[in-house]
Chains A and B, each alone.
Chain A
Amino acid sequence: MENRPLEYDYSVAKMFMFTTIILGIVGMLIGVILAFQLAFPGVNLILGESLAEYTNFSRLRPLHTDAVIFGFTLSGIFATWYYVGQRVLKVSMAESKFLMALGKIHFWLYLVVVAVVVVSLLAGVTSSKEYAEFEWPIDIAVVVVWVTFGMSIFGLIGIRREKSLYISIWYYIATFLGIAMLYLFNNMAIPTMLGTSAAGESGIGAWYHSVSMYAGTNDALVQWWYGHNAVAFGFTVPIVAMIYYFLPKESGQAIYSYKLSLLSFWGLMFVYLWAGGHHLLYSTVPDWMQTMGSIFSIILILPSWGSAINMLLTMKGEWQQVAASPLIKFMVLGSTFYMFSTLEGPIQAIKSVNAIAHFTDWIVGHVHDGVLGWVGFMIMAALYHMAPRVFKREIYSKSLMAAQFWIQTLGVVLYFTSMWIAGITQGMMWRAHDEFGNLAYSFIDTVTVLHPYYTIRGVGGLLYLVGFLMFAYNIYKTMSARPVEERELQNSSPMGA
């Protein structure tokens, strides 16, 4: 036992792989239920009148968003960090008892917070800020989890053998710092029990309730600075970290241009933080700030496409791999969807386009071609690549993976095309008026027209969920598939029939 050569230790990565899959199923299942609730309102009462409080759209919606963002995606980020981090720094977690213990504490604390979040959101306890619904006691626990993650990152960097930090590590560090800053500032709040009303009452409300430290327009500004950058540092930066490691590794190809990766990194870091104002176009925030949000959103195309093109060109001369390997397919389509959504977003941020797009389903479509096509595909690809190395077994079924790829791709396409049509229809109908300025349509007219598209969206989401269940099954069966030799794990992942 003692003479065993030093190996990378994936125990923490494995634990987070588990939560990625479980929370992915939960979050996506709720998403599908919500989609069908919008198409068929009766689904709100799916468990009967008496439980309607827990099954209606408004109660489940934050559970969906938080489960896929802070459950599925964050777990995926943690799982890949505890895998990629060791490998590119060339240091094993087994070399430090402290880091090993810290990683496990990180996981268990995270799991406790997830459980508390699920219970509190189902109970309807919320601060009512989008993507920041957790009340202050949970916020404090989240900060502790995040600090543990940070200590793991910098601890591992501290004992590294490789002097330079690989580009993915830069992106993981940016994820840590970005979210830390955003989360702290947006969640600044005063517990209501500390306040005194104008009438002199004190100790108002339940102990866990709080009000934001910002008011009115300022609150909206901070909220969307946070909200948009949660997309930046939760859905973009860490996913770019993943693809910069997993695509070169799986394909055996060096990054097309390492210099371009550095350039895009700094471009993304500088530009992204200023783009949040585009969520508040035509609202009460200062006009110059809206314009700034628009302009920075357009500029954002450059660093985003810098990374995406770098990824696609990494496959230069090796395109036959895309046809041969479903795992490469996931990553190449992922970076293609990244290009789509980072072009679509800036278009929506142009003021005149936004006049039609704002508050419509087109926005929902945009978010989902990004998260389903880019974030979801990349995280699943990462886990597929990790599975044979972590379990030392070949991926259970290549054909199942290929079937999953096509089912989910169809799902994503149905999702975003239906939302494009629905959104633009909605935007045009809301604005239509006669020569005296009277609105041409009432709200219910739009609902009637949109019904078929809402149904198609539900079907698209369902297909994606079915694919995700196939993914979960494939990973589960991988744990008992054919054992593989060390040499089979160099680049392309071994797969069973």
Chain B
Amino acid sequence: MVDIAQLQAYGYFTLTILLVIALYGYIYHLYSTKKDADGVDYESYSDMALKDDLGDTPVLPRSDDKEK
């Protein structure tokens, strides 16, 4: 008979495996695609700090028509 503690243990184990897959999946995704959905290389986002004067061009400007 399966008692609640056993169910918890299976649940816990499954969740751990899923989280590990999610974590490694995320790492794989970051390093294989290199770019996000907007086509910007993740690494170029560092420029948001380096070029942060009001007059500097944004890495990816927020255009109003796209935003809505």
Given contacts A88-B49, A249-B50, A263-B26, contact A164 B31 (CB under 8 A): no
Q: How many residues of B contact A (CB 8 A)?
A: 26
Q: Tell me whether B54 is interfacial, beta carbon within 8 Å.
A: yes
- CB closest chain-B residue, reference A491: B50
- CB closest chain-A residue, reference B58: A162
One of A252, A266, A270 near B50 (C-beta < 8 A) = A252
**Which residues from chain A contact B48 at a C-beta distance below 8 Å?**
88, 162, 164, 166
- CB closest chain-A residue, reference B46: A254
Q: Tell me whether A124 is interfacial, beta carbon within 8 Å.
A: no
Do A90 and B31 touch across chains, with their CB atoms under 8 A apart?
A: no
Do A168 and B45 touch across chains, with their CB atoms under 8 A apart?
A: no
One of B42, B43, B54, B56 near A6 (C-beta < 8 A) = B54
**Which residues from chain B contact A267 at a C-beta distance below 8 Å?**
23
| CB proximity of A274 to chain B, nearest CB, Å | 12
Q: Tell me whether B30 is interfacial, beta carbon within 8 Å.
A: yes
Q: Tell me whether B17 is interfacial, beta carbon within 8 Å.
A: no
One of B44, B45, B49 near A249 (C-beta < 8 A) = B49
One of A248, A252, A254 near B43 (C-beta < 8 A) = A254
- CB closest chain-A residue, reference B23: A267
- Range for the number of chain A residues in contact with chain B: 20 to 34
Given contacts A259-B30, A262-B30, contact A87 B50 (CB under 8 A): no
Do B52 and A87 touch across chains, with their CB atoms under 8 A apart?
A: yes
Do A164 and B49 touch across chains, with their CB atoms under 8 A apart?
A: no
Which positions in A face B, CB cutoff 8 Å? 5-8, 87-88, 90, 92, 160-164, 166-168, 244-245, 248-249, 252, 254-255, 257-259, 262-263, 266-267, 270
Instruction: List the 9 closest pairs (A to B, CB-CB), nearest first.
Output: A254-B46, A87-B52, A166-B48, A163-B62, A162-B58, A163-B60, A259-B30, A255-B46, A258-B42
Which positions in B face A, CB cutoff 8 Å? 19, 23, 26-27, 30-31, 36, 38, 40, 42-50, 52, 54, 56, 58-62
A-B contact pairs, 27 of them (CB 8 A): A6-B54, A7-B54, A8-B54, A88-B48, A92-B54, A160-B62, A161-B61, A161-B62, A163-B38, A163-B58, A163-B60, A163-B61, A163-B62, A164-B36, A166-B45, A166-B49, A245-B49, A248-B49, A248-B50, A254-B43, A255-B46, A259-B30, A263-B27, A263-B30, A266-B26, A267-B23, A270-B19
